[in-house]
Amino acid sequence: MDTQQLVKDFVERGYTIAPNILNGDEVKALNEHFETIHREQVPGRYEHPPVGEERDDILAVYPRVMNPHRFSELARAYMVDPRIATILRAIFGEEALGVQTMMYFKPPGSRGQKMHQDQFYLQVTPGTCVAVWIALDHVDQKNGGLIVVPHTDTLPIDCRNVGKPGSYDPDGEPIAIPAGYKGECPTLEPGDALIFHGSLIHGSGSNATSDKWRRSFISHYVAESCTTISKYYHPLVAMNGADVDRGVTVGGGPCGGYVGAAH
């Protein structure tokens, strides 16, 4: 893994791809672990569909698991994995702190997610967050791969959804891709990590296949020098696995208003 090249790509495009962050056995272990969490109704996952979703929505059957690092030792271990910590240290120029984890199942037929920017929700000061999106299946455009818009990390945060619950809200507006920019959907293999800037515009299409899942394990991070972050992301986690305290962002961050909980 060429860390210098990963950082170069991240700076130039707003995202980079780290191949083979996890090996096949690790990918299998994560998929089996989260299938158990789903089957046993482990606390921490959504028990009801978010606002606007119907009960026949496949994502109501397989909702995302929110912040499993708070109740799963395995999820926390991968959140602070030294391989990821090394890349983040190079990107931030200092140690990272973990702030959120999520597991998306995205079975065949499930819908996508509206275009958005993570920093809108996390309200990190100073600086921004960085997402590490690890593919747990083969991912491409057909099965709802992540769509990223290169170079939009330099744009300001779009504030049109201030006061709305989040990107699943049917009344919330997706961020339009600005003129002169074009989205792309990288193909990823199981264990590859897509790493992107908190201001980068991104979303996903629907899983249009009949037999291919698009599972992913996602963690968000901030620089250790972060002083405040939205109240929904506390406590933070140091790369040694210990909880860390930081302040709560007040005044709505860059948009100057309440923007709701984690997307």
CA angle at 99 for the pair 68 and 161, rounded to the nearest 5° = 100
Q: Is 183 in a helix, a strand, or coil? A: coil
| Spans of all domains in the chain | 3-247
pLDDT for 54? 53
- Phi, psi at residue 119, to the nearest 5°? -65, -25
pLDDT for 168? 47
pTM: 0.92
DSSP single-letter state for residue 50: P
CATH of 3-247 given 2.60.120.10, 3.40.50.12500, 2.60.120.620, 2.60.34.10:
2.60.120.620
For residue 220, which of 88, 132, 106, 113 has the smallest C-alpha distance?
A: 132
- Phi, psi at residue 73, to the nearest 5°? -65, -35
Per-residue pLDDT of the chain (263 residues; tens, 9 = 90+): 799 999 999 999 999 999 999 999 999 999 999 999 988 876 555 544 544 555 567 887 888 899 999 999 999 999 999 999 999 999 999 999 999 999 999 999 998 988 999 999 999 999 999 999 999 999 999 999 999 999 999 999 998 777 665 444 444 567 889 999 999 999 999 999 999 999 999 999 999 999 999 999 999 999 999 999 999 999 999 999 999 999 999 887 778 876 655 55
N- to C-terminal Cα distance for the chain?
31
